[in-house]
Amino acid sequence: MKFIISFLCLIASLHSYAQNYHRIIEVDHLGKIYTVEGTELTKYTSNKEIISSFSDALLGEISSIDVSNPLRIQLFYKEFNQVLYLDQSLSSVSDPIDLYTYSDSETQLCCDASSGGLWMYSRDDNQVFKVSRQGEIINKSGLLTSYFKEVSPSKMIEYQENLYFLIPLKGLVILNKFGHFIQQIPLAKISDFCFDNQELLYLKNHTWFKYNPMMTSDSIIFKIENSGESQIQSNKIYIFSEDQISIRQLKH
């Protein structure tokens, strides 16, 4: 009886984990789709056919993935403060990079740098660091306390050599390639953002909007009826929900 109870508890625990692990969907500029479920990364064609997969349970769950360079895909493992790079076949191109090499603090956010290397943000350091491909710190921002007073950023991406931070409930903060402040965009209560066709899009209350700085209100792009992770690329929205990927053409 004890064995049966223990077995049922294990099944329940595994089921709970399967329902709650971290999920991500990303799409590169070639139309390839990437999904993350816990420790598992899967790459698909634009027709949702599986190309390859990758997993390294020793590094823990994948916290974020950057596919801005499809030939050099960045995986960030926050739990172990490491970054791993994969090639287009999802094979590792080098050993994991230990981010403690550059800061004694834990890294909260990481993204790829278009010039090679990576950006890393540490809440304890209150700074963002740019690390070259050769492993040297080449740029540091000033202290970001004045911009990140109450809530730490939840997302960081580089776009056209500028660095964009998502501040939950407040909007976006933009730094240039040297880590210097450029602009703050107040977008209350947004939960995600991306760029498509050189336009800034953001997610709020399960609805994607196009940012119109010269207008009194922003344009609605797509309203997501059911829960799920989503991403927009090349006028298409990709929704990852309940192990299914759906793709819809956008009109905007």
Fold match flag (1-100 vs 191-252): yes
The pLDDT value given to residue 11: 44
Domain 102-186 class?
A: mainly beta
Q: What is the pLDDT of residue 148?
A: 74
* Of 83, 73, 75, 74, nearest in space to 103 by CA: 83
Q: List residues bridging with 245 in a β-sheet.
A: 240
Instruction: Reply yes or no on whether the pLDDT at 226 is more than 90.
Output: no
CA distance 108 to 17: 22
CATH 2.40.10 fits 191-252, yes or no: yes
Domain 1-100: which topology? Thrombin, subunit H (2.40.10)
| pLDDT for the residue 4 | 52
Q: What share of the chain is helix, strand, coil (3-state, %, to 5)?
A: 10, 45, 45
- Nearest to residue 45, comparing CAs of 104, 103, 109, 88? 88
Beta strands in 97-143 (DSSP E): 97-98, 109-112, 118-122, 127-131, 137-140
* Model confidence, pTM: 0.89
The 10s digit of each residue's pLDDT in 57-72 is 999 999 999 999 999 9
For the chain, domain boundaries:
1-100, 102-186, 191-252
Q: Rounded distance, CA 245 to CA 178, Å?
A: 37
